[in-house]
Amino acid sequence: MNQNMIDVKGVTKSFRGVVAVENASFVVPRGGVTALLGPNGAGKTTTLRMILGLARPTSGRVAYAGGSAPRIGASLDGGWGSGQVSADADWDYVAGVLGVPRSRVEEVREYVGLRAGDMRKPVTKFSTGMRQRHGLGIALLGEPDVLILDEPVNGLDPEGIRWLRGVMRSFADRGGTVLLSSHLLGEVEHVADHLVVVNKTVRFAGSVDELGVGAGRGELEGQYFSLVGAGRSAA
């Protein structure tokens, strides 16, 4: 069995002549948590969108284990929601597309910590933390093999961040694959098995041990900033 669930091969993406991602290559190992780490504007979200097929690479390609895309649940840009109807209606719509029963909707709603009263509101009335829980819930509805989360800790309080770490760790420990993006080094080192450090292109890809997470905090930060310091990104 291929140990890598996703293989990004020399991917470049340009928007109107501005390079957002340049010749990026890395793998996402199966059954672990991989963090795409870099400063704001480093091309993380663009990379995730190419992996999801929401943006076409200018060059390069994305390959999946087995040759076809696995079941993927994703939450980008703070989660999906129409904003025109209740969050419950949004979930029912997605559940209908996926063929998911109402019992699964209720199970996931409780799991991500959204109350029944919350679900009667449109997502536009949610706090940032509630939007994150909403997006995560929709991503989990279809029982995916791969979970892709864009800046998932944004807006969560410390208790929520700790809970989210547990969700990601549990998902990976059951054989799932997690790929998340973050600009927060301190968050990533608590949950990730593998790191991909980016700033327009890939600066490092490997295990957390290879980057030196076992080293002192100051040394780890120094290694990270030395990797991303060269070449500020434009997208």
Q: Where are the domains of the chain?
A: 1-70+146-235, 80-144
Distances (CA, A) of 74 to 86, 155, 167, 205, 210: 20, 18, 14, 22, 28
Q: What are phi and psi of 92, to 5 degrees?
A: -60, -40
**Model confidence at 13: pLDDT above 90:** yes
Report the amino acid identity of residue 212. G
Q: Token pair for residue 34?
A: 């991989």
Q: What is the pLDDT of residue 232?
A: 45
Segment 143-201, tens digit of pLDDT: 999 999 999 988 889 999 999 999 999 999 999 999 999 988 878 888 899 999 999 99
Neighbours of 14 (CB within 10 A): 14
Long-range contacts of 188-193, Cβ-Cβ distance < 8 Å, separation of 24 or more: 188/35, 188/37, 189/213, 189/220, 190/165, 191/33, 191/35, 191/165, 192/33, 192/34, 192/35, 192/37, 193/29, 193/32, 193/33, 193/34
| Residue in the structure block whose two tokens are 């990797």 | 227
Segment 199-219, tens digit of pLDDT: 999 999 998 878 765 555 556
The greatest distance separating any two alpha carbons of the chain, rounded to the nearest whole angstrom, comes to 50
Q: Which of 133, 127, 150, 1 is nearest to 72 (CA)?
A: 150
- With cut-offs at 50, 70 and 90, classify the pLDDT of residue 233: very low
Segment 20-45, tens digit of pLDDT: 999 999 999 999 999 999 998 899 99
Neighbours of 167 (CB within 10 A): 19
What is the fold, at CATH topology level, of the domain defined by 1-70+146-235?
A: Rossmann fold (3.40.50)
Per DSSP (E only), the strands in the chain are 4-15, 18-29, 33-37, 59-64, 72-75, 146-150, 177-182, 194-199, 201-207
